[in-house]
Amino acid sequence: MKRIGVIIKRASNEAKSAAGGLEAWLKNKDMEVFFHEPAADKNSSRRAPDSSLPPDLDLVVVLGGDGTLLYAARLVGQTGTPLLGVNLGGLGFLTEISMIDLYPTLDKVLRGEFTVDSRMMLAVELKRKQTAVARETVLNDAVINKAALARILELKVKINGEDLTTFRADGLIISTPTGSTAYNLSAGGPIVHPAQETILLTPICPFTLTNRPLILPESVEIEVEMDARASDMVLTLDGQAFYNLEPGDLVRVSRARTTTAIIKSPYKGYFEILKTKLGWG
């Protein structure tokens, strides 16, 4: 490895300080280092801003939390470049490496002694009057939500073109196994090991108890049609891209062709991270 990208959590002095030390350490090993900090984007329906990172990197180090890693996945994840997530505090399931373990882990990575998790992603398309107005790829989830005071949503769901049901709820989460520990977990959905290749469908505060979360095969295509009377709805992608929804809009979700490569911690396994983050035992 010779060309290393570093993505820094926006407006974080801790991340900037860590980046300075990392730059000196990498350059001492004759590495080329390229930095990128997410820019503030007032247009919330726009994709992540263009990257200042070159396309032919050997590794991208993410200094921040899970939100910064999701940003990195949207920015460069589809290139296949492995991501090394460094947690600078807070609840992090994706950023497995602590600052204490950063340099010992990097030593191993630069020697080629590392294992990569290939995380499945979802392809999301928003159609309005037969026209695609947005296409995105997400690592965690696509969420259809209502505004705080909006009426309960009625969301007609089809699986592979076959009617499933009409969810009456505050919203609907369509998640990957990676995203199962994000909003899905808060909404009462199941925790699914990231090695599983499944798609999770979880209603948010359903009106009836019979509307329960579903675990579906990764091969399915999910279509969610907005009710003709619907208003004040939004489609949120990985918590970072937002699209206002209109009556009759159609959200189509399927497995993406690309995956995100995340380097596993050599010091902590998935279940140790899980029980630590959730305070089990």
User: Distance (Å, rounded) from C-alpha 277 to C-alpha 181?
Assistant: 10
Residue 148 is predicted with a pLDDT of 73
130's CB contacts (< 8 A; 6+ apart) are none
Per-residue pLDDT at 11 exceeds 70:
yes
Parallel/antiparallel/unpaired status of strands 3-8 and 59-64: parallel
- The pair of three-digit structure tokens given for residue 193, joined into one six-digit string: 């090991």
User: Distance (Å, rounded) from C-alpha 262 to C-alpha 95?
Assistant: 9
Strand-pairing partners, residue 243, are: 235
User: Distance (Å, rounded) from C-alpha 154 to C-alpha 201?
Assistant: 15
Query: What's the pLDDT tens digit per position in 212-254?
Result: 999 999 999 999 999 888 788 999 999 999 999 999 999 999 9
Active site residue 30: no
The CATH T-level fold of domain 122-257 is Tumour Suppressor Smad4 (2.60.200)
Burial (CB < 10 A; 0-12, 13-18, 19+), residue 204, is buried
Return the H-helix or E-strand segment holding 40.
none
Which residue in the list 50, 66, 141, 232 is annotated as catalytic? 66
Compute CA 91 distance to the chain's CA centroid, rounded to the nearest angstrom.
Answer: 14
Domain spans, the chain:
3-115+264-278, 122-257
Rg (CA), the chain: 20
Residue 46 — very low, low, confident or very high, per pLDDT cuts 50/70/90?
very low
Return the H-helix or E-strand segment holding 115.
none
Using CA atoms, how far residue 212 sits from 46, 129, 144, 159, in Å, is 32, 30, 16, 15
Residue 44 is predicted with a pLDDT of 45
Please name the CATH architecture into which domain 3-115+264-278 falls.
3-Layer(aba) Sandwich (3.40)
Outline where the chain has alpha helix (H).
13-27, 66-76, 99-110, 183-186, 270-278
Is the whole model's pTM more than 0.85, yes or no? Answer: yes
